[in-house]
Structure 1
Amino acid sequence: MKGVKPLILAGIVAASATVHANNLEKVIDKSSEINQSAAQSQTKIDKIADSMQGRLQQFKTLNKEIDGLAVYNAQLTKQLNSQLAEMESLNESMDQVSVIERQITPLMMRMITGLEQFVALDVPFLSDERANRIASLKDMMDRADIASSEKFRRVLEAYQVEVDYGRTIEAYTSLLEIDGQEREVDFLRIGRLELIYLTRDGKKAGSWDQQSSAFVALPDSTISQINKGLRIARKQLAPDMLTLPVHAAE
């Protein structure tokens, strides 16, 4: 009987070990399931975290874009306001230009009329050239394809040409009626102080008398000085003193 107890005890131990082994396997299996579930949950959590991080980054990017657009819109607003102010200024300038243009046209007409009267009363040098210049100005004023600014420039240019006549010396050839006969003569213009002619044969000379509005004969003693003046005007001689009669223009 003593030999039977150890066998029973060994069987109990073996059975207990089997039970513990089965329980341990269940625990391990359960733990494995828990770990798998935890891994799946962690995967879901990671995906959700990644998604949240992506959305957060997208949100930050959108906020930056919104801030950039706000700055850009503010700049565009400033530019737009500046352009509106400039347009308003241009509109005012255009209105002023229209007023000035309406005023400047009569002014130019008066200037041309004044220039024509001045030429008619002046020493009669380059008569055809000066008359053609004034006629050209009158024709120009009737043309619509020329801007008012260009018209005004040409009128001022004509005035400048007349001003320059008063401080230059000039020699030119033209026709002049002498003793009832038209002859070719050399004219010597000294500013507006004197207009002298000399026939091409060098035998007759005369100067313009503003009071009588006619040419008067000059003595033969002046012919050498007139020739000298003609050569100086043509740059054939260096500038030098001339002894000539002077009839000042009125």
Structure 2
Amino acid sequence: MFSLTSMRVLILSALVLAIGSASAQLDEAIAKQSSRVERAAQAQDQVDAIHDQTRDKLAEFKRVTKQAEGLRVYLQQLQKQLQNQATELAEIEQSIQDVAVIERQIVPLMLRMIDGLEQFVSLDLPFLLQERRERVASLRSLLERADVTVAEKFRNVMAAYTTEIDYGRTIEAYRTTLPGTDREVDVLRIGRIAMFYQSLDGKEVGRWNSFSQSFEPLSGAYRGQIGQGIRIAREQAAPDLIRLPIPTAGASL
């Protein structure tokens, strides 16, 4: 029979063994839990890292998408510009072809215009004949030059026509030699209506007769009027009304 003391020792031993076993199990459980917590922390760190990477990738995706949209719009604009440039290029090429056609047509036109100008000068009142004939000759010479553009040639032809037109709207006085003589006279031109002359001493006056194609003398009654007209043309006197004889068929003064 076990004594009470032996029983207590046995119970105490059993308790010690039970406590030791429970403690070992607890330690093992704590170790396992710690391992799980550590793995969970590592997993969370991985999740956080993946989240950060995903966020960065998303931001990069948005940035790249925005750039791509900007490039798409830019490419569309470039496409429109290229289309417009292609249209302009076609128009320029057509214009070049048209210019070539115009040049082939305008050169004969300028030749006819110069011929017409030369004929007009020969049939007009004989004022500034040398200057006007030289202008026509200069136009013919200009037309033969290869270093002058067609546009510049045409501009000069039109300038000559403008000059001739202006003669019909102005009065002018200049000194020249009376045709058929060696006498210098002052000539008064009234547009293209009439031409008069006055000797340098003011004693002799005359007019151009378009029908006889020569100057004819006038009576001394017109000396004052012709002299006044010369002074007005030279801006030596204020504009004023003057009475001058206009030649008519068969007229003689």
Measured against aligned partners, the alpha-carbon deviations of 1:109-155 in whole angstroms (never above 9, x if no partner) come to 10111010000011100111111111111111111222212211211
Residue 138 of structure 1 is matched in structure 2 by: 140
Residue 125 of structure 1 is matched in structure 2 by: 127
Between the aligned partners of 1:156 and 1:167, the Cα distance in structure 2 is 17
Structure 1 vs Structure 2 CA RMSD: 1.9
How much has 1:65 moved relative to structure 2?
2.8
Cα 1:21–1:182 change in 2 (3 A) is same
How much has 1:166 moved relative to structure 2?
1.0
Partner AA of 1:218 in structure 2: L
Deviates more, 1:82-91 or 1:64-73: 64-73
Residue 209 of structure 1 is matched in structure 2 by: 209
Residues 165 and 191 in structure 1, CA contact (< 8 A), matched pair in contact too: yes
Residue 196 of structure 2 is matched in structure 1 by: 196
Between the aligned partners of 1:248 and 1:65, the Cα distance in structure 2 is 89
Between the aligned partners of 2:119 and 2:51, the Cα distance in structure 1 is 98
Between the aligned partners of 1:154 and 1:57, the Cα distance in structure 2 is 70
Partner AA of 1:51 in structure 2: Q
Between the aligned partners of 1:169 and 1:38, the Cα distance in structure 2 is 114
Residue 49 of structure 2 is matched in structure 1 by: 47
Deviates more, 1:189-198 or 1:46-55: 46-55
Structure 2, unpaired ranges of 5+: none
Partner AA of 2:210 in structure 1: Q
Give the alignment of 1:1-250 within 5 angstroms: 1-177=3-179, 181-247=181-247
Between the aligned partners of 2:131 and 2:248, the Cα distance in structure 1 is 22
Cα 1:72–1:248 change in 2 (3 A) is farther
Between the aligned partners of 1:117 and 1:149, the Cα distance in structure 2 is 24
Structure 1, unpaired ranges of 5+: none
Q: Matched residue pairs, number?
A: 247
Higher relative contact order (CA 8 A, sep 6+): 1
Displaced runs of 4 or more, over 6 A = none
Q: What is the TM-score when the length of structure 1 is the normalising length? A: 0.91
Partner AA of 2:224 in structure 1: S
SS in structure 2 at match of 1:212: coil
SS in structure 2 at match of 1:206: strand
SS in structure 2 at match of 1:145: coil
SS in structure 1 at match of 2:245: coil
Between the aligned partners of 1:55 and 1:226, the Cα distance in structure 2 is 102
Measured against aligned partners, the alpha-carbon deviations of 1:190-210 in whole angstroms (never above 9, x if no partner) come to 111111111111122211111
